[in-house]
């Protein structure tokens, strides 16, 4: 998804939220959340295992998963909610995520001169910024413990990502803004009338981004014509503090 489309979509959502705010009184209908958490898993892969024959010997690449390249460090953000009634609410959320690059053995080469030589790759740190708008349905509003389900649409902007292989820097993906879909469920606890704790488990699907087009991507066993931030799933878990006003 191109940045201008993402910004247009978010601007339209803001206009809609502003119109709703003018049409409906905010008193006793709004809440603000600060949350933090982390990504439980990113199970998709950049590529499967592959074998490449070369003039100096054969190269065997292992399967390369998203979880092999980066460790999700943390997610933090804020959310604004508007409650239409005791069950249905709309929300707009912004989040920042940090990913720590890993050093991995991604395969090995074999030759008669050197024998079996491992291929190590160091992946750079990366981060992303998300903007989402969505709706949530909350059950059992009369109880302190209230389960909920929700869904959202938005955009995620991912930073440049690269790897270093044999002292060569390889562009893995260009910075890009991509369309994102999110579904969530969780449990909200209300110790007081004006304050809640919210535990959320979500699944986010991120669409693919632009290819890096780096001629050295073959060092990672990747095709330079078809590699970018590929479509993948993320599974964040978040704990938030919610204030009603």
Sequential DSSP letters for 114-130: TEEEEEEEEEPPEEEEE
Is the pLDDT higher at 113 or at 195? 195
Q: What is the pLDDT of residue 17?
A: 45
Report field, pTM of the whole predicted structure over 0.75: yes
Percent over 70 (pLDDT), the chain = 84
Over residues 42-69, the mean pLDDT reads: 86
Check if the beta carbon of residue 200 is closer than 8 Å to that of residue 238.
yes
Quick: pLDDT tens for 143-180: 789 999 999 999 999 998 899 998 999 988 888 899 99
Name the phi and psi angles at 12, rounded to 5: -65, -40
Residue ranges making up the domain that contains 24: 3-244
Domain count, the chain: 1
Most confident listed range (60-64, 110-114, 208-212): 60-64
Q: What is the pLDDT of residue 149?
A: 98
Quick: pLDDT tens for 3-41: 444 445 444 444 444 454 444 455 578 999 999 999 888
The CATH number of the domain holding residue 112 is 2.40.160.20
Most confident listed range (2-11, 98-107, 210-219): 98-107
Residue 22 three-state SS: helix
């Amino acid at each position: 998804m191109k940045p201008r489309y993402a910004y247009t979509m978010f601007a339209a959502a803001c206009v809609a939220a502003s119109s709703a705010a003018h049409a409906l009184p905010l008193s006793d209908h709004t809440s603000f959340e600060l949350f933090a958490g982390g990504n439980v898993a990113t199970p998709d892969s950049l590529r499967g295992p592959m074998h490449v024959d070369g003039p100096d010997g054969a190269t065997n690449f292992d399967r390369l998963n998203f979880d092999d390249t980066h460790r999700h460090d943390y997610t933090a953000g804020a959310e604004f909610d508007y409650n239409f009634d005791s069950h249905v609410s709309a929300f707009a959320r912004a989040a920042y995520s940090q990913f720590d690059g890993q050093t991995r053995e991604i395969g090995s080469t074999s030759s008669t001169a050197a024998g079996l030589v491992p291929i190590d790759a160091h992946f750079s740190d990366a981060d992303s910024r998300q903007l989402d708008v969505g709706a949530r349905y909350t059950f059992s509003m009369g109880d302190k413990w209230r389960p909920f389900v929700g869904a959202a649409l938005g955009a995620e902007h991912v930073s440049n990502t690269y790897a270093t292989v044999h002292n060569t820097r390889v562009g893995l993906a260009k910075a890009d803004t991509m369309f994102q879909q999110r579904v969530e469920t969780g449990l909200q606890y209300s110790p007081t009338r004006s304050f809640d704790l919210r535990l959320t488990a979500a699944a986010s699907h991120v669409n693919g981004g632009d290819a890096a087009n780096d001629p050295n991507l073959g060092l990672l066993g990747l095709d330079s014509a078809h590699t970018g931030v590929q479509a993948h799933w993320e599974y964040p878990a978040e704990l938030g503090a919610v204030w009603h006003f």
